Amino acid sequence: MKNDPKAKLVDGTKAAKPLNQVLKENEHVKDMLEESADELASVNRVLNEEFANQDQLPEMGNALEKSEAVEIKVQEASDKLSVVNQALEDEVRERHLLEHQLATIREQQEETLHIALHDSLTGLPNRALFNDRLEHGLVQATRHGWTLAVMFMDLDNFKTINDSHGHDVGDAVLRIVAERLKENTRGDDTVSRHGGDEFLYLLTDMTNEQDATIIAEKIIKAIQVPCQVSIGELIIKPSIGISIFPRDGTTAEALTKSADTAMYQAKRSKSGYAFAGGTPASSR
């Protein structure tokens, strides 16, 4: 079976800490062995001197030989442990390097994924991410009998801003609007840039139509605050269409289309927002 390089990276990050601990313990043992070897060498020198000055007793000679043999083995063990420790140090360095490489790869993956799923101008989720969350929301709503809403928002007369003041001013307006939408988005909801000056809002946790009304009015109020751009102040007015699941559709495509149609109804009547299949709200 082929080795999995990713598995090796993961194992490396998990094992780096224990290896450091093993290396530290081995260094301690190595120091003890070296101390023991030095002490044995010192004892053996004394014994050799004593042995040279006395009659050569066989028992003493045998003891000295054994002691010198132990000294050699202790020194050999210390040398082998040094080799092992060097290998451990190399392994720790390699694992730290792999850990760093893995962190870099993860950052690059996250950055690539973010770019793929977010609008480059506003930083909002793009159409693909919005549709994914809407599909997930529909599954949950169907399973639990929940209600959710899709809001389709368009900025009134935005083309005039681009034509009169240039795309730089238009882009600045879109960024300001996006920031205001983010500031007025609830935790479980999703707001996205659908394209151009169109935005989509997914309202997932609602008990009745009034919840959507409150959010729509809050968004309109926030966006209509004058925008400070390079040419001075601009007042932007949005039009919002609202579709409700399951009343106005049971698929992501149907709900988005219903909300889009309702948005044009709100734009024509200058009412601010309108519900799919219903009458526009009173002008605000």
71 token code pair: 């000294």
User: Using an 8 Å Cβ cutoff, are 177 and 183 in contact?
Assistant: no
Instruction: Determine the distance from the C-alpha atom of residue 64 to the mean position of all C-alpha atoms in its chain, rounded to a whole number.
Output: 67
Contacts of residue 61, defined as CB under 8 A and 6 or more positions apart, other chains included, come to 51
Looking at residue 282, the DSSP 8-state letter turns out to be: P
Concerning whether 171 is annotated as a catalytic residue, the answer is no
Residue ranges of E strands in 92-247: 147-155, 190-195, 198-206, 227-229, 232-234, 238-245
> What separation, in Å, do the N-terminal and C-terminal C-alpha atoms of the chain show?
69
Sequence-distant (≥ 6) Cβ neighbours of residue 258 within 8 angstroms: 150, 241, 243, 248, 249, 276, 277
Task: Identify whether the C-beta of residue 228 lies closer than 8 Å to the C-beta of residue 177.
Answer: no
Tokens encoding 25: 């313990």
Write phi, then psi, for 191 (nearest 5 degrees).
-120, 135
Per the document, the length of the chain is 284
Instruction: Spot the catalytic one: 119, 154, 189, 197.
Output: 197
With contact defined as beta carbons under 8 Å apart, do 239 and 156 qualify?
yes
Q: Do 185 and 201 touch, CB atoms closer than 8 A?
A: yes
The candidate with the shortest Cα–Cα distance to 280, out of 212, 260, 264, 214, is 264
Q: CA 130 → CA 177, 192, 193, 199, distances in Å?
A: 18, 6, 9, 10
Catalytic residue IDs: 197
